[in-house]
Structure 1
């Protein structure tokens, strides 16, 4: 239960987050390369559509039998998941909580102190949940990164919850 994070406050729905399952989420991002590339605000539905389209095209061209290259790609992806450093955008979770119209601020609670962000800026935050394939157990369960990467080497650690004010 200590790894469970809550989004509470001026919201229609209180959201419970479990960082342990995000490794299986298609929205996860590789934090080792995310801040190096120019950050594009792309639509996740658009990315999903492109991925499905690419897979569909491959099946039409090569049939449903997986060629050796596809097997190699799957093996590479599995290994990447086991050794990667990952995060996930906070925006979908905030949107699912449905903040009230008078909500202006996101408060991040950590063991050390509280951090406040304007709600509009909070939608761009990245939640780190694994480092080199391991959960963030010593100073986690999650880390918070600014979308511009300015705190990449010093993220907000020991996060215990979120409150929308």
Structure 2
């Protein structure tokens, strides 16, 4: 039930989707694609540059994964009934894709390997829990594009 990120990266990493249920970065499957149209706000380039500078230079603590807070009983029950996706951006950033990399290959158990662009991979999602349960039969993850164009037929490991 692990997912390795290997190849043309500085750091090969291994992901364990079974622990993501407790990660604050998870997103409800229903909400992952519904906000795509409403995100078109005006972006201030100066504000963006300032935030990037602060993130990359001043505050190295932001590169650490978030610390989980306590989960209430109600939240625990919701976790066990909902479906969740995990954004891949943080993991791909931590693996540090080398500059000469062109694309990424998602290796599947059915030998139907799928090639995606680095942008599609970095901005994509892994479905890791369906109705609160790990994907045991056709998992451990399913890959979704950020725009949700493959919601009906995700790429399965």
Same fold by TM-score greater than 0.5: yes
- Give the whole-Å Cα distance in 2 for the aligned partners of 1:37 and 1:119: 22
Secondary structure of the residue that 1:107 maps to in structure 2? strand
Alignment of 1:67-106 (within 5 A): 74-106=72-104
- Structure 1 moving runs of 4+ over 2 Å: 36-41, 73-76
- Give the whole-Å Cα distance in 2 for the aligned partners of 1:101 and 1:33: 33
The answer for the alignment partner of 1:116 in structure 2 is 115
* 8 Å Cα contact 2:128-2:141 kept in structure 1: yes
Provide the aligned length of Structure 1 versus Structure 2. 128
Alignment of 1:45-84 (within 5 A): 74-84=72-82
State which structure, 1 or 2, has the greater radius of gyration over its C-alpha atoms.
1
Alignment of 1:38-49 (within 5 A): 38=36, 40=39
TM-score (norm 2): 0.75
TM-score (norm 1): 0.71
Ranked by relative contact order (alpha carbons within 8 Å, sequence separation 6 or more), the top structure is: 1
Shift of 1:90: 1.0
Please, which runs of 5 or more residues in structure 2 have no aligned partner? 41-50, 56-61, 63-70
More strand as a share of residues: 1
Please, which runs of 5 or more residues in structure 1 have no aligned partner? 49-72, 160-165
Shift of 1:137: 0.5
Deviations 1:10-62 (A, max 9, x none): 11100101000001111100002322233649x9x9xx9xxxxxxxxxxxxxx
